[in-house]
Amino acid sequence: MKDLHQFLISPAQAAQQHGPHDRIVMSSRVRLARNLRDAAFPGWAKKPERVRILEAILPAVSALPEMADSFAEAMDNLTALDKQILVERHLISREHAAKNVGSGLVLNRAETFSVMINEEDHLRMQALRPGFQIREAWNAIDHLDSALEKKLNFAFDNELGYLTACPTNLGTGIRVSAMLHLPGLVLAEQINPIIQSVNKLGLAVRGLYGEGTEALGNVFQVSNQMTLGESETGIVERLEKVLAQIIEHEENARQTLLEKKRKVVFNHIGRAYGILANAHSISSKETMNLLSLLRLGLDLGSFPGTDRALVDELLLTTQPAHLQKQLSDKLTAEERDLIRADMVRERLKDVNRPVTK
């Protein structure tokens, strides 16, 4: 068995990955749901059937050229901490982290493909890209899907398309999403009308970890809802247009804040720096919210000489499971808050106070 932690890209490396518009679009992903024709969906299949499905799918996925030298493992072979780290990296869903016997994961070396086996559907395959690259992600996962359909019999109906456990995913089984950092719209109090108008277009806006989660650190996920009656490329193009507009609104909001509410913006950034650079105990939630403001400060030129990668790395390493992994002893939440504060102070030691020009 491969060691997950030797396999995973280090947080420092992960923070160095760049893509178009990554000031605002942190990452893009396209997920496809697929099921085998002759088996019950994972939620209904009994354990032996799930194991049989896993044993059929896992080798087929691992053998794809894109997945050469991949991390392929049954979920019951991963510790709770490993699973939580994968969630914090956005490589598996929280639902999948709760799975054990009969579920699995295949992750490629570059972490650009993650295939969950027996999550809600037999296959949830996703392509991931840094920055605004949903079209690239679609092309990549389309290619992987076409290769896999030669080996596995997918459940497909001429009228209804790909058949999925939940009718909400029926048809294309696609979910196109982008993770957006929108501190400008939040500070300008324009985020709610934006969310509402995006909802009206049939798109969903969610928090950092998907369904039913809050928007920590001003990070929002925008994705399609409807999967039937519109082609994959139609959905990708529609989302591209909406995302381009959100990016523009965020840029405008930042510009307007700088022109009309300089004191408000610099007050937020200055206080965020003050707390992060001096705190001796800090929760992961507060850390995320303050790092978001630091990231905004970096974008606005308040921290000349500091790379945004520093903040992006801290956004990962200060999360509970990542923090726990760096330590040998199992810590309580309170103890983690102390260590987290020590780590952040240490990393911000060489970052000068924000300049306000």
Partner 1 sequence: MQCCVCKEKPATVHLTQIVGEKMQKLDLCEDCAKAKGINDPTSFAMADLMLGLGASQELDPSAGTVEIKCPRCGFSQADFKKSGRLGCPECYRTFAEGLAGLLKTMHKGTRHTGKAPEALRKSRETGDRLKALQKKLNKAVETEDFEAAAALRDEIKALSGATPIKAAK
268 is written with which tokens?
A: 């937020």
Q: Which of 117/315 has CB closer to partner 1?
A: 117
Name the CA dihedral angle for 17, 303, 184, 112, rounded to a multiple of 10 degrees: 10
Q: Which of 237/335 has CB closer to partner 1?
A: 237
How far apart are the C-alpha atoms of 216 and 207, rounded to whole Å? 7
- Pick the piece of the chain touching partner 1 (CB under 8 A) from 152-160, 313-321, 340-348, 349-357: 152-160
Residues from 291 through 320 that contact partner 1 (CB under 8 A): none
Residue of 240, 206, 176, 174 lying closest to 32 (CA atoms): 174
On the CB side of 80, CA atoms within 13 Å amount to 3
Integer distance in angstroms from the first to the last C-alpha of the chain?
A: 54
Site string for partner 1, 231-270 (x = CB under 8 A): xx-x------------------------------------
- Pick the piece of the chain touching partner 1 (CB under 8 A) from 10-18, 106-114, 227-235, 256-264: 227-235
Residue of 290, 285, 289, 296 lying closest to 261 (CA atoms): 296
Q: Smallest distance from the beta carbon of 202 to partner 1, in angstroms?
A: 6
174 is written with which tokens?
A: 């696609």
Q: For partner 1, how many residues bind (rule: CB under 8 A)?
A: 45
Handedness of CA 3, 98, 112, 328 (dihedral sign): negative
* Ramachandran area for residue 102 (φ above 0: left; ψ -120 to 50: alpha; else beta): left
Site string for partner 1, 153-172 (x = CB under 8 A): -xxxxxxxxxx-xxxx-xxx
How far apart are the C-alpha atoms of 331 and 284, rounded to whole Å? 14
- Pick the piece of the chain touching partner 1 (CB under 8 A) from 82-90, 193-201, 214-222, 261-269: 193-201
Q: Which of 24/39 has CB closer to partner 1?
A: 39
Query: What residues are paired with 59 via a beta bridge?
Result: none
Q: Smallest distance from the beta carbon of 176 to partner 1, in angstroms?
A: 12
Which amino acid is it at 270? G
Q: Which of 155/351 has CB closer to partner 1?
A: 155
Q: Is 142 in the site for partner 1 (CB under 8 A)?
A: yes
Q: Site residues (CB under 8 A) for partner 1?
A: 35, 37, 39-41, 43-44, 120, 142, 145-146, 149-150, 154-163, 165-168, 170-172, 174, 196, 199-200, 202, 204, 225-232, 234
